[in-house]
Amino acid sequence: MRNELIKTTIEDHVAVVTLDNPPVNAQSRETMEELIEVFDELNETKGVRCIVLTATGKVFSAGADIKGRAKMAQEAQAGDTYRHLRRAREVGFVIMESNIPVIAAVNGPALGAGMGLAIMSDFIVASTKASFGLPEIDVGLMGGVRHTMRVFPIGLTRRMVLTGWRVPAEELYRRGLIEACVEPEELMDTAMDFARNIASKSPTATRKAKRALNTVETMGLKDGYRFEQNLTVEMTQHEDSREAMRAFIEKRPPVFSDEVS
Residue 161 contacts by C-beta under 8 Å, 6 or more apart in sequence? 134, 136, 137, 144, 145, 148
Contact 124, 178 (CB under 8 A): yes
Q: Sort strands 180-182 and 6-11 into parallel, antiparallel or unpaired.
A: unpaired
pLDDT for 165 equals: 95
pLDDT for 33 equals: 95
pLDDT for 58 equals: 96
Please report, in tens digits, the pLDDT of each residue of the chain (261 residues total): 789 999 999 999 999 999 999 999 999 999 999 999 999 999 999 999 999 999 999 999 999 887 766 566 666 788 888 888 889 889 999 999 999 999 999 999 999 999 999 999 999 999 999 999 999 888 888 878 999 999 999 999 999 999 999 999 999 999 999 999 999 999 999 999 999 999 999 999 999 999 999 999 999 999 999 999 999 999 999 999 999 999 999 999 999 988 887
pLDDT for 73 equals: 60
Whether the pTM exceeds 0.85: the reply is yes
* Cis bond upstream, residue 23 (ω within 30): yes
| 57 CA to centre of own chain | 19
Contact 202, 166 (CB under 8 A): no
The DSSP code for 64 is B
Contact 87, 224 (CB under 8 A): no
pLDDT for 142 equals: 81
